[in-house]
Structure 1
Amino acid sequence: MNFKLKFKDINESRELTENYTVQDLLNDLGLSAQTIVAKQNGELTIEDSIIDDGDEIQLVQIIYGG
């Protein structure tokens, strides 16, 4: 079971474990949900969403400014 990850220069297939969530992925990458927006199969999603086999997860860096 695999899912596709897109983030900055990363465009890869990753192995999927049971009940693996978007938050688990962020933790594995050392990223914070406060600075990242996640899309699951093109739709905005929350950190508690479980990633399914074949899903595409895109992580987008939030840019603050003023």
Structure 2
Amino acid sequence: MKFNLKYKDIDESRELSSENYTIKDLLNDLELSSQSLVCKQNGELVIEETEIKNDDEIQLIQIIYGG
């Protein structure tokens, strides 16, 4: 089973490494923090506990801080 990941310059198909694979698992695998990202699943905002399903599109959007 696969899903599509979009993050910065990355746009790739990835294998689901396990059942019940969540956004949090993905962030851990990529060594990214949810504190600096917004996560979308098929265009909808989601939380870390959301499961990634076959053929989902996961988009990670970097939050930019500034003043």
For this structure pair, what is the TM-score category when the shorter chain's length is used for normalisation? over 0.9
Normalising by structure 1, we get a TM-score of 0.97
Distance (whole Å) between structure 2 residues aligned to residue 23 and residue 64 of structure 1? 22
CA shift digits 1:40-60 (9 cap, x unpaired): 000000000000001000000
- Quick one: which amino acid aligns to residue 36 of structure 1? L
Q: How does 1:5-24 map to 2 (within 5 A)?
A: 5-16=5-16, 17-24=18-25
- Quick one: which amino acid aligns to residue 63 of structure 2? I
Query: Which structure 1 segments of 5+ residues have no match?
Result: none
Q: Percent identity at matched positions? A: 70
CA shift digits 1:13-57 (9 cap, x unpaired): 000121100000001111000001000000000000000001000
- Quick one: which amino acid aligns to residue 53 of structure 1? N
Q: How many residues are aligned here?
A: 66
Runs of 4 or more consecutive aligned structure 1 residues displaced over 3 Å after TM superposition: none
Query: Which structure 2 segments of 5+ residues have no match?
Result: none
Matched residue SS, 1:30: coil
1:57 maps to: 58
